[in-house]
Amino acid sequence: MNLKSVFRMVMLLVWVFSLLGVSQPVFAQPAADVEVVVRDLTYWNGTFSGSVNEARYEKWSFSFTEQHTFTVTATTTWGDLVPLVTLLDAGETPLVSQVGSFTSTQPAGDYFILVQPQSGSGNYSLTIREAGTPSGTSVSVDVNPSSVTVGESALVTVSLNNVPGGGLTSAEFTCTYDASLIEVSAITDAGLFGSDAAVAINGPASGAFIFAIAGSNGRKATTNGAVFTFNALGLQIGEVTITCQARVSIGDQTLTELSPASDTLSVVAQQGTLAGTVHAYKPVTVSLYDAGSTLVASATANQDGTFSLQAPAGAYTAVASVQGYLDAQGAATLTSGSTTTMPTITLPAGDIDGNDVIDQFDAMTIGMNYNGSTPAAADLNNDGIINVLDLELLAANYRLSGALVWQ
């Protein structure tokens, strides 16, 4: 064969293939002798079973009330069936036709899914699923309040965020915590999956519980929000981390795991209140110190000298202090849920240098800064100028020393 003949043959083959094009699944209208069995999808986003052969096709009817992007899949469960799946509109005009599966976006309306053999025959399962995945969905945990005393409870809210447009059909949450610090109770559905959702709870026990929920009768979670709540009762002092791990489903019998979320709850000792009245020309600070001389709480008295502060129940040393005055100091025992009242007291003015003695050195400080405004400790009457009126207050307490006994 010469070169010219070979060239002609190659060109002929190119022309033939250009007419044929690339092989694609083609919807074939059922022959007149083929039985088409009409079946209903009682609800969409489910799984259904059927059987087809060369003489029997099946056509499934369903309706959308709004636009959906969805995937239809026919999977052979028995036989040598290669299923061809076709989406038809209400007038039975083909919209999509593919072997095995297709994805389509359609507006509200009535539709049919026709299943026929591309080849072979047998049984199949048919699924129609909302397209899209919950890959952007996240879980959050919120504890309110973030601090409670022993015997008090906080409300914990577990929520889903960035819920996909097609919604979630179910979710499973595994929550863990330190059972020595808190007690969990009153685990309650918050309604995100619709009314009358199916709920299963395992636990709580040994610092963990599982909350599983699925929307009933086709209902889904379609918005962001709280899935469930529970109470956390403080048992003993400490900080506890509450962590919830979630897995969610869009209805395809597959669970997608989300990143865990957590929040903390501080459990503190029950509080008592210390109250009283301390007089001075300046604002007085009242402080509580524990047995190790560690500051536990403090408060500034009001203009009239009254004060109130809270601290965990226990025994303390109470100290009332202000610059330029001798301190007052006494023992105070706080009881949970009650108020301990200290005696009313007036602090002695004049200890300008803070050495716990009112003497000539304090008077010298007034003289050296006469008609000035600093140091602030020398302005005993808090009128903004250091003068004889401050010396007068000092003189009234001349030679006093040490902290005033406050009890």
pLDDT digits (tens, 9 = 90+) for 249-299: 988 778 888 999 999 999 988 889 999 999 999 999 999 999 999 999 999
Number of neighbours of residue 257 by Cβ within 10 angstroms: 10
What is the bridge-based pairing of β-strands 345-346 and 147-149?
unpaired
Bond into 25 cis (ω within 30): no
For residues 385-397, give the mean pLDDT.
97
Predicted pLDDT at 254: 80
Predicted pLDDT at 20: 44
- The answer to which of 5-14, 266-275, 318-327, 344-353 has the lowest mean pLDDT is 5-14
Number of neighbours of residue 339 by Cβ within 10 angstroms: 13
Of the two residues 105 and 1, the one the predictor is more confident about is 105
Secondary structure element (H or E) that encloses residue 74, with its range: strand 68-79
Q: Is 79 helix (H, G, I), strand (E, B) or coil?
A: strand
pLDDT digits (tens, 9 = 90+) for 170-202: 999 999 999 999 999 999 999 999 999 999 999
Confidence of residue 165 (pLDDT cuts 50, 70, 90): confident
pLDDT digits (tens, 9 = 90+) for 350-362: 999 999 999 999 9
pLDDT digits (tens, 9 = 90+) for 23-71: 445 566 777 778 888 887 655 556 789 999 999 999 999 888 887 778 8
Predicted pLDDT at 134: 66
- The answer to which of 4-18, 152-166, 294-308 has the lowest mean pLDDT is 4-18
Of the two residues 298 and 127, the one the predictor is more confident about is 298
pLDDT digits (tens, 9 = 90+) for 364-373: 999 999 999 9
Most confident of 117-131, 156-170, 366-380: 366-380
Task: Report how far residue 187's alpha carbon sits from residue 204's, in angstroms, rounded to the nearest whole number.
Answer: 9
Task: Report how far residue 118's alpha carbon sits from residue 125's, in angstroms, rounded to the nearest whole number.
Answer: 16
Bond into 375 cis (ω within 30): yes
- On the question of pLDDT at 16 being above 60, the answer is no
Is the whole model's pTM more than 0.85, yes or no?
A: no
Which of 292, 402, 278, 296 is CA-nearest to residue 350?
A: 402
Question: In the 8-state DSSP scheme, what is residue 342?
Answer: P
Of the two residues 6 and 362, the one the predictor is more confident about is 362
Residues 6+ apart with CB under 8 A from 362: 350, 351, 352, 353, 394
Contact 110, 63 (CB under 8 A): yes
- The answer to which of 5-9, 107-111, 217-221, 387-391 has the lowest mean pLDDT is 5-9
Q: Is 376 helix (H, G, I), strand (E, B) or coil?
A: helix
Provide the edge-to-edge strand list for the sheet that holds 82-89.
Answer: 35-40, 56-64, 109-119, 82-89, 94-99
Contact 228, 188 (CB under 8 A): yes
Task: Report how far residue 59's alpha carbon sits from residue 40's, in angstroms, rounded to the nearest whole number.
Answer: 8
- SS3 string of 293-340? CCEEEEEECCCCCEEEEEEECEEEEEEEECCEECCEEEEEEECCCCEE
Contact 85, 108 (CB under 8 A): no
CA dihedral 323, 328, 330, 334 (to 10 degrees): -50
- On the question of pLDDT at 3 being above 80, the answer is no
Percent of the chain with pLDDT over 90: 73
DSSP codes of every residue in 153-203: EEEEEEEEES--TT-BSEEEEEEE--TTTEEEEEEEE-STT-TT-EEEEEE
Which of 129, 193, 130 is CA-nearest to residue 160?
A: 193
Contact 117, 53 (CB under 8 A): yes
Contact 399, 346 (CB under 8 A): no
What is the residue-averaged pLDDT of the chain?
90
The number of C-alpha atoms within 13 Å of 23 and in the hemisphere containing its C-beta is 1
- On the question of pLDDT at 391 being above 90, the answer is yes
Q: Measured on CA atoms in the order 147, 153, 155, 158, is the torsion positive or negative?
A: positive
Instruction: Please report the domains of the chain, with CATH numbers, ordered by start residue.
Output: 25-130 (2.60.120.380), 138-268 (2.60.40.680), 271-405 (2.60.40.4130)
